[in-house]
Amino acid sequence: MPPVRPAAIRRTATTLADGRELIYFDDSEPYVSGQRTRRLDDPRPLPDRFAPIPQPDGSLAPVTGPQMRRDPLTGDWIPMAGHRMNRTFMPSADACPLCPAREDADYSDGEIPATDYDVAVFENRFPALLAVPGAPPEPWAVDGEELWQARPASGRCEVVCFSSDHDSSFADLTPGRVRTIVEAWADRTAALSELPGVQQVFCFENRGPEIGVTLPHPHGQIYAFGYVTPRTRTMLERAAEHRAATGGHLLRDVLEAELRAGVRIVAESEHWVGYVPAAARWPVEVHLAPRRDVLDLPGLTDAERDDLAVTYLELLRRLDRFFVDGAGAPVPLPYVAGWHQAVLGEGRELGRLHLQLLSVRRAPGKLKYLAGVESGMASWISDTTPERVAARLQELA
């Protein structure tokens, strides 16, 4: 295997005009050696995001973050926007906020002031989860009814720019650049895990307009949740039941069972195994897990990170050839790819790092919609079989 790891990765943190954090992860010269530094100042006239907001009558109103309410019927927390934020600045409709600043302009509409970058991470300007400094953390009862609990939707949302090239995509990147992204994910997971109240960190990519992506620029997101999400809660309950019944670790036992069965294995490398889960629910679904028990991305060794960059890219490139149109041309796959990592509180030892990649595309020109049975009952009906999906991916290897 050719060397994947850049000779070094340089991390440079700065603050945007409204107080949000921006971090450059550089693997190319002259930045990686420190000979030059990316632009650190943000020339935009943005108000401090937590500064009180002037009202029409001249008074000042404090910024309030998003709230979340607990569905009393399921126990799920639902974060809600509609909070009061300093949002006087909006980028013009034709400007991509993730593209680097233009060389010929000293003022940028974008979120990244440098004229180029390798990988960049910044706090989302319009976050679904946000810890407002000084905001009272106490829960309250909606309309005074104790059944309806509400809390500040604290946490943090970040954007990861995978490339400065607007027309690129993750699958087009070099293994070295993917390796830098892995480093950025691990760095952010470690940092966000330290924030007060954060219970889990989710790094993910939504790819394609079919998934609802509004910015085509290659990017992903990171959510640091102040609560355990419904899927994770369910998985923890199942893992605890499995441990009580068998003494085993559910996620490891699933991986070992898939390796024994073999039929749904679609990728195997020194450190990683890709498989279509035996009870996959999406039209295309692949999980990628390390062979070694690892709780989260920061727990991966350098060798596992190098291998991941190569193995994941190879898998993504196959997925982009999964469907072909009438003329035999590949149809790029819309997908959601997210990293399940161990929670930070109770149940942490039940976690095991794995990537879940899923697609709503069930055929060229056909999408799976979450209709009555899925949306109304959260009960899934698959239009295919996991073995058929795995066979197609094996054929493309």
For residue 111, give the amino acid letter: E
**Shortest distance (Å) from residue 110 CB to Zn ion:** 8
- Those residues with Cβ within 8 angstroms of residue 299's Cβ, 6 or more apart along the chain or in another chain: 353
**Shortest distance (Å) from residue 160 CB to Zn ion:** 14
CB of 61 or CB of 95, closer to Zn ion = 95
- Those residues with Cβ within 8 angstroms of residue 367's Cβ, 6 or more apart along the chain or in another chain: 210, 360, 361
**Shortest distance (Å) from residue 98 CB to Zn ion:** 5
* 38 forms part of the interface with Zn ion (CB under 5 A): no
CB of 98 or CB of 132, closer to Zn ion = 98
Pick the stretch among 97-105, 246-254, 324-332, 334-342 that binds Zn ion (CB under 5 A): 97-105
Rounded to whole angstroms, the Cα distance separating 317 from 18 reads 38
Choosing from 98, 182, 236, 390, the residue that interacts with Zn ion (CB under 5 A) is 98
* 101 forms part of the interface with Zn ion (CB under 5 A): no
* 295 forms part of the interface with Zn ion (CB under 5 A): no
Report the site for Zn ion in 136-175 (rule: CB under 5 A). Answer: 166
Give residue for tokens 């692949």. Answer: 286
CB of 17 or CB of 96, closer to Zn ion = 96
* 203 forms part of the interface with Zn ion (CB under 5 A): no
**Shortest distance (Å) from residue 97 CB to Zn ion:** 8
Rounded to whole angstroms, the Cα distance separating 134 from 106 reads 35
* 96 forms part of the interface with Zn ion (CB under 5 A): yes
* 102 forms part of the interface with Zn ion (CB under 5 A): no
Of 27, 209, 14, give the one whose Cα is nearest residue 114: 14
Q: What is the CB neighbour count within 10 angstroms for residue 290?
A: 20
Q: Which x/- pattern over 232-261 shows residues binding Zn ion (rule: CB under 5 A)?
A: ------------------------------
Question: Which helix (H) or strand (E) is 394 found in, with range?
Answer: helix 386-395
Pick the stretch among 33-41, 60-68, 217-225, 351-359 that binds Zn ion (CB under 5 A): 217-225
Give residue for tokens 């054929």. Answer: 395
CB of 164 or CB of 193, closer to Zn ion = 164
Rounded to whole angstroms, the Cα distance separating 99 from 111 reads 8
Rounded to whole angstroms, the Cα distance separating 310 from 272 reads 10
**Shortest distance (Å) from residue 101 CB to Zn ion:** 11
Pick the stretch among 89-97, 115-123, 157-165, 271-279 that binds Zn ion (CB under 5 A): 89-97
Q: Is 219 a catalytic residue?
A: yes
Q: What is the dihedral of CA 300, 344, 341, 122, to 10 degrees?
A: -90
Rounded to whole angstroms, the Cα distance separating 358 from 261 reads 21
* 112 forms part of the interface with Zn ion (CB under 5 A): no
Choosing from 9, 99, 316, 358, the residue that interacts with Zn ion (CB under 5 A) is 99
* 219 forms part of the interface with Zn ion (CB under 5 A): no
CB of 112 or CB of 390, closer to Zn ion = 112
**Shortest distance (Å) from residue 166 CB to Zn ion:** 3
Q: Considering the candidates 219, 249, 287, 354, report the single residue annotated as catalytic.
A: 219
For residue 80, give the amino acid letter: M
Rounded to whole angstroms, the Cα distance separating 183 from 120 reads 12
Q: What is the CB neighbour count within 10 angstroms for residue 257?
A: 11
Task: Using only the alpha carbons of the chain, give its radius of gyration.
Answer: 22
> Binding residues for Zn ion, per CB under 5 A?
96, 98-99, 166, 217
Residues with active-site annotation? 219
